[in-house]
């Protein structure tokens, strides 16, 4: 469960920012990650609820932006977001496609603080 280590790193970032910027509490955190990144939203939420206890982020709301899987067709050049299987171009049906998005790592986008 690598979500535990990711949440600990996130909380370390929050504490560093609090020391630098002098805020007392985090109200919300906006996070993003790719759909194919092997991260589980529920595991992240669970790890956050446990690990944030006693920190400036305790009780903060997590807002997730889950980035779609994207492909680029090497035949027709079309780029497309894919909800299901990504083995064919939705435009020309070519199998000559490459994955261009959806594997992004967990990122902290913004924090709302007091």
Whether the CA torsion 83, 87, 93, 97 is positive or negative: it is positive
pLDDT of residue 82: 86
| pLDDT per position as a tens digit, 38-61 | 999 999 999 999 999 999 999 999
Tell me the pTM.
Answer: 0.85
Tell me which residue has tokens 């002098």: 22
pLDDT for 1 beyond 70: no
pLDDT band at 2 (very low <50, low <70, confident <90, very high): confident
- How many domains would you assign to the chain? 1
Minimal CA–CA distance to 45: which of 104, 98, 106?
106
Residue 9: domain span: 3-113
pLDDT of residue 18: 96
Q: What is the DSSP string of 23-40?
A: ---EEEEEEEEETTS---
The CATH number covering residue 48 comes to: 3.30.2320.80
């Amino acid at each position: 469960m690598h979500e535990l280590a990711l949440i600990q790193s996130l909380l370390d970032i929050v504490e560093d920012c609090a020391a630098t910027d002098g805020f007392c509490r985090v109200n919300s955190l906006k996070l993003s990650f790719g759909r194919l990144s092997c991260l589980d939203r529920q595991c992240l939420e669970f790890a956050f609820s446990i690990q944030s206890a006693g920190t400036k982020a305790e009780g903060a709301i997590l807002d997730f932006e889950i980035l779609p899987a994207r492909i680029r067709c090497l035949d027709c050049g079309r780029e497309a977001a894919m909800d299901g299987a990504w083995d064919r171009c939705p435009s020309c049906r070519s199998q000559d496609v490459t994955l261009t998005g959806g594997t992004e790592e967990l990122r902290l986008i913004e924090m709302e603080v007091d």
